[in-house]
Amino acid sequence: MKKLNILVVEDGKSQREMLRDFLKSEGHAVMEAADGETALQHVRNHHFDLLLLDYRMPGMDGMDVLKAVKAINPEIDVVIITAHGTIETAVEAMKAGALDYIMKPLEFDELLILVDRVAERRNLIRENELLRKELREKSITTDQIIYRSASMQELINMAGRVANSRATVLLQGESGTGKELFARLVHQLSPRSNKPIITVNCNALSENLLESELFGHEKGSFTGAGTRRIGRFEEADGGTLFLDEIGEITAPVQVKLLRFLQEREFQRVGGNQTIHSDVRVISATNRDLEARVREGFFREDLFYRLNVVVMNIPPLRERKDDIPPLIDHFLKRFAADNGKKIDAVSSEARDMLLKYDYPGNVRELENIIERAVVIARDETISANDLPFHLGTPGDEEETEAGLLKKSVEDMERKLIQNAMDEAGQNQSRAADLLGLSERMLRYKLKKLGLKE
């Protein structure tokens, strides 16, 4: 854990010295100030990661000091020390930029948790800065990994940390989450970036073809082998081999892959020559490999060779913060590809896109936006341009909530049908009777399976 430079601002001498001694015992560098003016002088002359700031002090109070500190350096974290009766003012201070508050009498365990949280935050900020610097130096962008969520930022930071090692990386996640993009990012950040990254989809080939694809074969080694073939492990020498859907490989291929990971050598199919290759292996799976090991379908020793570093990529439904920037990215891309002037998504359509769970993850969202752009008549994507299933999530269990939803839909269907009948099937008049816009009525008719 990073050790912090901390300034303790407290007018009570015994309290100030107690905090100083405790924080120093935890390995932090600590300075003291008995009043706001002295604190600001220290901030101007020294570097601090954290201020522990008593709210009530003679002269400048905590709020005045907080504002002045943030004006000098807005990146300094400030934690307010407050008595029970001044919690409201501490909350007000947080709105003004304080990171958190802690109440008197101080509990050292609580203080330590808070300081550790600040240290973790500073570490993350530092990692982000180093990663951005490295990306700039190598002219690499993460433009293809569109994200806003903290979980994806953490994964990108991890890619930066593991890239310089020789360790194998296992990317786990559902189909469509972007595992290959992360494999390419690790490769681009690594010292191997000037060598190729070669991708093999292990599920797309039969056992014999996959073995030949990976390790190559000698002429005449099997029917149809008219010439010698160089395998992917030879082609990727000095670079990276990305094995997608690794959970699908059969036992004989698992044996040869394990030998390569242990010895860094292999033989072509039908050959006797031992070939050495310097290849970094990154693999990916949408399977539970540990379950495959327990079931006897996957070698345990190979599993442990592959998962030295594991990166779990969450499904899109668990990182919905990423959906808005993804929508905007795909909209811009497909509008340009199709030569259409579409630059917005209606609030109703955006709401539907945000509420949907995306079993196909980012790949499914990409497909939905492309389809919407292709069929849209206007410059704004509307709810009518989205697939029907987005408004009606998959079959729900017969729970109380599911039954209530069905009952509400049945009632809504009956009201709309009655209004349509009364309006002589005229949608404009029916919409007026129901107090809906005509567009919303069309959406409801489609959603509820009613004939227009």
DSSP structure string for 167-205:
--EEEE--TTS-HHHHHHHHHHHSTTTTS-EEEEEGGGS
Fold for the domain defined by 317-391: Helicase, Ruva Protein; domain 3 (1.10.8)
> Which tens digit of pLDDT belongs to each residue from 198-231?
999 998 888 888 988 899 888 867 766 768 788 8
Q: Measure the CA–CA gap between 52 and 234, rounded to whole angstroms.
A: 58
Q: Measure the CA–CA gap between 21 and 30, rounded to whole angstroms.
A: 9
Domain limits, the chain: 5-124, 150-312, 317-391, 400-447
Average pLDDT over residues 319-341: 92
Average pLDDT over residues 249-264: 92
> What is the structure's pLDDT at 425?
85
> What is the structure's pLDDT at 390?
74
**The pLDDT of residue 141 is above 60:** no
Judge contact between 393 and 357, C-beta under 8 A: yes
> Which tens digit of pLDDT belongs to each residue from 270-301?
888 889 999 999 999 998 899 999 999 999 99
69, amino acid identity: V
Which segment of 139-148, 183-192, 319-328, 370-379 scores lowest on mean pLDDT?
Answer: 139-148
Given the candidates 3.40.50.2300, 3.10.129.10, 3.10.180.10, 3.40.190.10, the CATH classification of the domain at 5-124 is 3.40.50.2300
307, amino acid identity: N
Q: Measure the CA–CA gap between 165 and 159, rounded to whole angstroms.
A: 11
> What is the structure's pLDDT at 59?
82
Which segment of 4-18, 86-100, 173-187, 415-429 scores lowest on mean pLDDT?
Answer: 86-100
> What is the structure's pLDDT at 173?
93
Judge contact between 86 and 43, C-beta under 8 A: no
**The pLDDT of residue 318 is above 80:** yes
DSSP state at residue 426: -
Fold for the domain defined by 150-312: Rossmann fold (3.40.50)
The long-range contacts involving 40-43, CB below 8 angstroms and separated by at least 24 positions, are 40/65, 40/68, 40/69, 40/72, 42/7, 43/7, 43/69, 43/72, 43/73, 43/76
Q: Measure the CA–CA gap between 433 and 378, rounded to whole angstroms.
A: 27
> What is the structure's pLDDT at 132?
60
Decide: residue 323, CB within 10 A, 0-12 exposed, 13-18 middle, 19+ buried: buried
% of the chain exceeding 90 in pLDDT? 37
Judge contact between 169 and 282, C-beta under 8 A: yes
> What is the structure's pLDDT at 362?
93
Average pLDDT over residues 228-244: 91
CA 260 to chain CA mean position, Å: 32
75, amino acid identity: E
- The bridge status of strand 280-285 relative to strand 274-276 is unpaired
> Which tens digit of pLDDT belongs to each residue from 28-51?
999 999 998 999 999 998 889 899
CB neighbour list of residue 101: distance below 8 Å, 6 or more residues apart = 79, 80, 81, 82, 87, 90, 91, 93, 94
> What class is the 400-447 domain?
mainly alpha
Average pLDDT over residues 59-83: 86
Q: Which of 275, 188, 189, 279 is nearest to 239 (CA)?
A: 279
Average pLDDT over all residues of the chain: 84
Q: What is the pTM for the complete model shown?
A: 0.59
> What is the structure's pLDDT at 130?
62
Judge contact between 46 and 39, C-beta under 8 A: no
317-391 and 150-312 share a CATH fold: no
Under the banding of pLDDT at 50, 70 and 90, the label for residue 63 is confident
Q: Which of 314, 315, 317 is nearest to 393 (CA)?
A: 317
> What is the structure's pLDDT at 393?
43
Which segment of 58-72, 227-241, 389-403, 418-432 scores lowest on mean pLDDT?
Answer: 389-403
DSSP state at residue 395: P
Average pLDDT over residues 382-404: 61
**The pLDDT of residue 344 is above 70:** yes
CB neighbour list of residue 452: distance below 8 Å, 6 or more residues apart = 427, 442, 445, 446
